[in-house]
Structure 1
Amino acid sequence: MKGKIILCIALVLTNLAGFAQKQEGQYSLEATYGGSFASKPSITQFGHYDLGIRYMFDPNWGIKFDFGHDKFRNDETPKQGVDYTRLSLQAVHNLGRTLNIPKATGGAVNALAHAGLGLSVFKSTQQKTKDNMGNLIVGVTPQIYIFEDMSLQLDFSYVVNLLQHFDYDGTYHFEGAPKSFTGGHATASIGIIYYLGKRHSDYDWR
């Protein structure tokens, strides 16, 4: 199932990339890989990845659609945990322009801020049912300029899960009948931004 989702997203991103080449505005494809950090129970796991496409309306504001996946496993019982899948639509602000970061660093460093909401699913190794949730996400993305069509990105995000039932070890949070609660986890990742369209990376860097 996960493979089918990734394939569908790849096809959508490919079609959007072709469309972006003919449009004004700044389009970019983005991919990161890194770690996830949950506190209830405490689990730190490398296995987070994120794929997305971003469109900047102007040098200050834009939107992005992204797909995130995380794998959480309990260290004491490695077979227990959850696979987490997220789709989110987010607003993006060019924080670097507000703080004059590119100018201060000679065009070498920038930073974006992003926040939005979407849908999430927990697939537990312990339960047959899936946990369908809403999500809120907020984060910051420092950037390092490579060349006109590409930059390196670091991303630090926190995801709030609404109507969560499973803990990150795959068991129900409350005993007895399942009850919902608000949970969350953090991610830290590194990846690449590839710019598309007529403006290349103008809105991020110039």
Structure 2
Amino acid sequence: MRFIIILSLFFLSFNAAQAQQFNNFSLEVGGGAHFPFNPKDSKDQTSLSNYISMKQFQVSGRYMFNEKIGLKGQYAYFYFQDKENHLNKSAMHKVTLEAVYNLGNALNFNYAFQERFTLLLHGGAGISFLKPKESYDFEKIGNLQLGITPMVKISNQVAFYMDVTPVLNLMQHYSYGGELLNADYKAQSGFFLNANAGFVFYLGSRNQHADWY
């Protein structure tokens, strides 16, 4: 029964999108830097600033139901490595689902800035897969995030974006250097800031996307 309801809602939203005069889908591709704040391995006196790097990228698919509200699914990859000791390292794959709200459209930013600038607010939850050093297993970590995305329209098909997103890891057992944080396997919360930039590619046959309609 639940599946039928979800399927019905999907078809209703699809039919509504067909009647609209703008495109709904977009693809985002970018990369940037990450800034870890915690947890810190008490056995490792290395500053977490050693793990700040540009070794990350992400790709997202976004669907706007109307000019203000949408959903975004995202895959992101992060590589943490100690600048002074390259043996201390970990890799993280993160998948999230977020709600998106077009603040620029809601506040008429598009008109004030000649329809070239807008601002997206996004937030949601997901799961990360952290691979510690010298391990073949991935730790599964639930996470929450909330970010803001300024965008500049280049053409009807492309926009440039910048994004700042704090990420909260709910239960993390390994440090960014790949070490077990606690011998008793007690989890800690983790937190890092993700800053990146890239391009939005608008998909569809109509001239305008919902971001700029």
Q: TM-score, normalised by structure 1?
A: 0.84
CA distance in 1, matches of 2:178, 2:53: 14
**Residues 104 and 120 in structure 2, CA contact (< 8 A), matched pair in contact too:** yes
**Residues 48 and 187 in structure 1, CA contact (< 8 A), matched pair in contact too:** no
**Residues 155 and 188 in structure 1, CA contact (< 8 A), matched pair in contact too:** yes
Segments of structure 1 that go 5 or more residues without pairing to the other structure are: 1-19
CA deviations 1:88-116 (Å, max 9, x no partner) are 11100001122322111111111101001
140-149 or 127-136, larger mean C-alpha shift:
127-136
CA deviations 1:131-175 (Å, max 9, x no partner) are 11111111011100100011011111111112111111111222x
Specify which of 27, 30, 46 is matched with residue 32 of structure 1.
30
User: What letter is aligned with 1:189?
Assistant: N
> Which ranges of 4 or more aligned residues in structure 1 deviate by more than 4 Å?
none
CA positional deviation for 1:127: 4.3
Structure 2 residue 105 is the aligned partner of structure 1 residue 97: yes
User: What letter is aligned with 2:202?
Assistant: Y
From the superposition, tell whether residues 200 and 170 of structure 1 become closer, same or farther in structure 2 (CA, over 3 Å): farther
**Residues 84 and 123 in structure 1, CA contact (< 8 A), matched pair in contact too:** yes
CA distance in 2, matches of 1:115, 1:121: 19
Q: TM-score, normalised by structure 2?
A: 0.81
Segments of structure 2 that go 5 or more residues without pairing to the other structure are: 1-13, 41-47
Corresponding residue number in structure 2 for 1:202? 209
Corresponding residue number in structure 2 for 1:141? 149
Equivalent residue runs for 1:158-177 within 5 Å? 158-174=166-182, 176-177=183-184
Larger gyration radius, structure 1 or structure 2? 2
CA positional deviation for 1:180: 0.8
Q: How many residues align?
A: 184
Identity of counterpart residues, as a percentage?
29
Corresponding residue number in structure 2 for 1:67? 75
User: Root-mean-square deviation (CA), in Å?
Assistant: 1.7
